[in-house]
């Protein structure tokens, strides 16, 4: 994995990964070059389908433990944490926008944000929830269920859930792959704007040329 932008002296790092390897059962071993992003920056993980983008992203988010190597988020070694502590740390510090929204269909939009805070061990904060929904033009839809939303509204609700806990790191996995040009531009703008609003580092895994043209820090698998 190579970077198209040389980054010397980056301190402090919001995210740093060194010596990462992962082997799927019965599969080949994936080895990833070291990665580092400074606080508040925006970067891409690039590669063709099957190159390991999603695997690496899940490792960086504390969702998939590597066979070797270490991941630090704001100085914390993720995989040195016990399972429950890792869950809480991830919930408080890492916001994830998956390829599919994975909103809880039996909960309203605002309830999906409340449960995100609960899973992170954080207290309820209705003001914070309303502020996030308003920033994504979702305040009028707070009491609607996911199935009552348009596709674009569901995407925005997923982003709202990812940022409600003020994460240090916001990551997105192929957020524009199934979208037309207009909607892809809107989603990319929402992600970059929300990262800036929250003061979060943004990391997107993609093979979409439309995204590549907008973010200069790039790690290629």
- Residues near 6 by beta carbon (within 8 Å), at least 6 away in sequence: none
Q: How confident is the prediction along the chain (221 residues), in pLDDT tens digits per residue?
A: 444 443 433 345 689 999 999 998 887 889 999 999 999 999 999 988 888 999 999 999 999 999 999 999 989 999 999 999 999 999 999 999 998 889 999 999 999 999 999 999 999 899 999 999 999 999 999 999 999 999 889 989 999 999 999 999 999 998 888 788 888 888 899 899 989 988 899 999 998 888 988 898 999 98
Residue ranges per domain, the chain?
2-220
Strands (E), the chain: 2-3, 13-23, 29-31, 35-38, 42-46, 68-73, 76-77, 94-97, 169-173, 201-206, 217-220
Token reading at 60: 């960086």
Residues 44, 205 contacting (CB under 8 angstroms): yes
Q: Where are the alpha helices (DSSP H) in 40-180?
A: 53-60, 83-93, 109-119, 126-135, 151-163
Give the span between the Cα atoms of 71 and 81, in whole angstroms: 11
Assigned fold of 2-220: Rossmann fold (3.40.50)
CA atoms within 13 A on the CB side of 109: 27
Instruction: Give me 215's structure tokens.
Output: 């973010």
- Among 129, 56, 116, residue whose Cα is nearest residue 90: 116
Residues 103 and 146: their CA atoms lie apart, in Å, by 7
- Cα-to-chain-centroid distance, residue 124: 22
110-121 burial, b at 16+ Cβ within 10 Å, e below that, comes to bbbbbebbeebe
Alpha carbon distance, N-terminus to C-terminus of the chain: 4
Burial of residue 141 (number of CB atoms within 10 Å: 0-12, 13-18, 19+): buried
Rounded to whole angstroms, the Cα distance separating 47 from 198 reads 27
């Amino acid at each position: 994995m190579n970077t198209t932008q040389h980054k010397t002296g980056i301190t402090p790092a919001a995210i740093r990964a060194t010596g990462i390897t992962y082997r799927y059962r019965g599969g080949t071993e994936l080895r990833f070059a070291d990665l580092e992003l400074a606080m508040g920056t925006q970067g891409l993980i690039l590669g063709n389908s099957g190159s390991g983008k999603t695997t690496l992203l899940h490792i960086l988010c504390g969702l998939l433990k590597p066979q070797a190597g270490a991941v630090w988020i704001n100085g914390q070694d993720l995989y040195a944490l016990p399972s429950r502590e890792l869950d809480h740390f991830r919930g408080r510090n890492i916001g994830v926008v998956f390829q599919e929204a994975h909103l809880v269909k039996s909960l309203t939009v605002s309830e999906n944000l409340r449960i995100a805070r609960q899973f992170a061990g954080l207290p309820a904060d209705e003001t914070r929830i309303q502020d996030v929904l308003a920033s994504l033009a979702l305040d009028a839809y707070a009491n609607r269920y996911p199935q009552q939303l348009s596709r674009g509204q569901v995407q925005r609700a997923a982003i709202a859930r990812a940022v409600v806990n003020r994460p240090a790191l916001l990551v997105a996995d192929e957020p524009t792959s199934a979208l037309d040009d207009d909607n892809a531009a809107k989603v990319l703008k929402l992600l970059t704007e929300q990262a800036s609003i929250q003061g979060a580092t943004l990391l997107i895994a993609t093979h979409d040329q439309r995204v590549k043209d907008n973010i200069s820090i790039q790690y290629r698998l």
